[in-house]
Amino acid sequence: MDKKVIKNYIINIAAIFAVYAVLKGLIYAGVITRYHQGIIVFILINVILATSLNLAVGFLGQLTLGHAGFMAVGAYVSAITAVALNANFNLPKIVVLLISLTLAAIVSALTGVAIGIPALRLRGDYLAIITLGFGEVIRVIINNIKVTGGAQGFTGIPKLSTLDNVFWITVLAVAFLYTLTHSRQGRAILSIREDEIAAEAVGVKTTSFKVMGFAIAAGLAGIGGGLYAHYIAFLDPNTFNFMRSVEILIIVVLGGMGSLTGSIVAAIVLTIMPEALRSFNELRLLLYALILVVMMIFKPSGLFGTEEFSWQGIYDRYKTRKNALHNREKKV
């Protein structure tokens, strides 16, 4: 292991703990109210949803429009599991949450595989349309079966998500995606985005990597859905409609397709913005559109493009700049 790599790991872990400590401190000091905490939880859930969608859209290069469907599967599986566990066993809250989320992730990932195998034969617009269709199919099924409470919604879900556990689960999910995309499997996934035919011609099993990427994205969306269910404690199938998928996609596009840190920043901005603009109710959708138009004109690759934010990167840039200035001074 390289020393620089170890240093980077330590810096990143320290930064995460620092963010957590600041959050905790602000809550303790009363600066962050319960209302703010709610927004932070939604930001974190959106981070999970956006980064997982980024795996499918940004890293694998497969435009999908049914992410809310996988989120719905996760939300309902997790809710049903938790209710069943609470009725039959007397387990601590965190154990119930973890079991529910694990099951949610597995079922969502399997749904992802089931949808991915036929859908991923298509490309581009066709794939977008078919995933949109599948997403809606999932919603309609949930609307029409008994276990989910149908159109009346699912009530009585134990409120298991707290700011603390959502925060750490988000950290783990993003770390998982980061390490996955920076491994040999991640490179294979990237090669499919770059050129599927060339990837196959250098020996990458494109079909299995496509299904794998799609399934992991779906599984993580399931975890996001589960956390959502256990936070809001009530599920209405219509919240998982096409617009929800688009909302997640907008976060990914704004942050940069292929940048996890970009998705995190965009999730923060795009979750806070509607809340902050609540008083201008109608104008906020207009502003949404305006931001995207401006973005597409000036930086079509998104805030971060395919780059990741890193302290080392900033330091390196600062250093090269300083050196450049230094050299110029020398010449003068």
Instruction: Provide, rounded to whole angstroms, the least separation between the CB of residue 45 and other proteins.
Output: 22
Q: From residue 20, how far is each of 164, 166, 230, 316, 332 by CA, in Å?
A: 9, 11, 21, 26, 47
Spatial distance between the Cα atoms of 37 and 166, rounded to a whole number of angstroms = 11
- Amino acid making up residue 200: E
Query: At its nearest, how many Å lie between other proteins and the CB of residue 182?
Result: 8
For residue 221, which of 309, 322, 111, 329 has the smallest C-alpha distance?
111
* Min dist. Cβ of residue 9 to other proteins (A): 9
Which of residues 69 and 262 has its CB atom nearest to other proteins in the complex? 262
Which residue's CB is nearer to other proteins, number 184 or number 326?
184
Nearer to other proteins, 4 or 184 (CB): 184
Residue 17 CB, nearest approach to other proteins (Å):
19
Helix (H) or strand (E) holding 206: helix 206-232
DSSP codes of every residue in 208-222: HHHHHHHHHHHHHHH
Q: Are 51 and 177 in contact (CB under 8 A)?
A: yes
Write out the H or E segment, with its range, that includes residue 168. Answer: helix 163-181
Which residues contribute to the site for other proteins (CB under 8 A)?
1, 176, 179-180, 183-188, 190-191, 194-195, 197-206, 212, 306
Closer to other proteins at the Cβ: 121 or 205? 205
Is the Cβ of residue 200 or residue 275 nearer to other proteins in the bound state?
200
In terms of CB distance, is 84 or 172 closer to other proteins? 172
In terms of Cα–Cα distance, which of 124, 102, 104, 112 is closest to 66?
112
1 or 332: CB nearest other proteins: 1
List the Cα angle 136/245/286 in 5-degree steps.
125
CA 64 to chain centre: 13
With a CB cutoff of 8 Å and minimum separation 6, the contacts of 66 are 115, 131, 132, 133, 134, 135, 136, 138, 245
